[in-house]
Chains A and B, each alone.
Chain A
Amino acid sequence: MSKWQIFTRGLVRENAVLVLMIGLCPALAVSGTVRDGFGMGIAATFVLLCSNIIISLFRRNIPNEVRIPIFILVISTFVTMIDYMMQAFQPDLYRALGVFVPLIVVNCMILGRAEAFASKNSIIMSALDGLGVGLGFTLTLTIMGAIREMLGNGTFLGMVVFGEGFKKAPVIFMIMSPGAFLVIGVLKALINKYVKKETP
């Protein structure tokens, strides 16, 4: 597979949330608005990229029997590091993302890529894979956030769409939990219909 294919694979064809059905918990929980979805996606992409690089770098030194605890240690170290650094040097960004940063640890997508890809491939490939999967995740969460925010709150990034009348009485359940399931279901159906499954 070429480098370009590795990178684009995670965007749509093997989209973590909509095709592989992993990382669903953050996708459902923090896709209420465009900003939340995008912020969560970018933060997760960053951790995914770093952990993929480190795990790929040491892939020959990690014993098979304890690989999962080691992956978890590396991922949680990165998440904690980013949490501290952002609090110290980017307090505004941290205020915007605050809740989502510690949540990245529980995103099984990151552990999944470490296990399925980074522990078997070179550093450059792993970095591209992490970036692709991460951006695919960001794209999904941003689209979900856009649909849910527009229908459920009548706004896009806080700007009023569909007029003031709709904003006063929007489809409120779209920004609550049922809306998340509904949107993720519709997106999954669209992907199933229009994107060809990769033949194994």
Chain B
Amino acid sequence: MPRRRLIQAVNDALFEEMERDPKVIVYGEDVELAIIGDMRGLHERFGPDRVRNTPISEATLTGMAVGLAAAGYRPVLHLMFSNFIYTGMDAIGNQMAKLRLMTGGQIKLPITVIASFGGGACNAAQHSDSAYPVLMNMGGIKVLVPTNSADAKGLLKSAIRDDNPCFFLEPSGRGGDMGMVPDEEYLLPIGEAALLTEGDQATVVAIGRMVKPALATARKLAERGIAVDVIDPRTLVPLDEARLLASVGKTGRLVIVDEARECCGAASQIAAVVAERGFPFLKGPIRRVTPGNVAMPYAANAEAHLLPDEGRITQAVLELVGQG
């Protein structure tokens, strides 16, 4: 089983899918030079007909994806930063999310949009958002948030083969994380959460970059005799509600760690699902650990103050188990 960094696993998935299917094409603002690293070597291997740089115009790029997909291609659009979802929103909100339904399924839209998301790298407010809540609210778009090499490879390959629009969001700054990736062809079904550690005191659901501090917290809590389930949803649409409810059914306590802002974020949706369907299990209030409803600052110390960290996750769990 080879060791691959997360970004390399994304690169491997793109190579494999482009080799497999000539209809898979890649374009975006910097896919030829591959500034993030995930597009390395694609332009040299597949040439300008299938890998192409574009002008800086996200409104055009997202529209192109709809047209390409409707015409039979399987476009992979690299948007660089998830903030640019806002810039390209008309084609996302009014076309990608709706055309399959409006045409009774006659138009397939096998679109994959790649973007990195989240703060922690001093990228400032306009490049640090975790912009998935707006996608989750569209009602016709799949949202993938892998956090390790194997999941990234498996989910991206599944996204490219999916006939619906999929947003594949890479956790910013975690591209160098090393992980094991299966030797054989590996596709991860979209919609399956992962249980990363097991315990019966509380359930900690962590999304994207928040998985790392959640796991570190779980290790330290375990040393104090407090064992928790840590769950990585891996995909936000569809959400693996059964896995979440099974865990809360065991623990009775839920902490959700989300890098998206508190108001109407992924944490809010998960809290609502568990409150509606898992209320009899709950021994205390559901706790969200998120940034406040403000823009992410540039300064590293201010950014660190806003982002959920081990201290805040620990405090939330301890309060729920009556030790806070």
Query: Are these two chains actual partners, yes or no?
Result: no
A residues at B contact (CB < 8 Å)? none
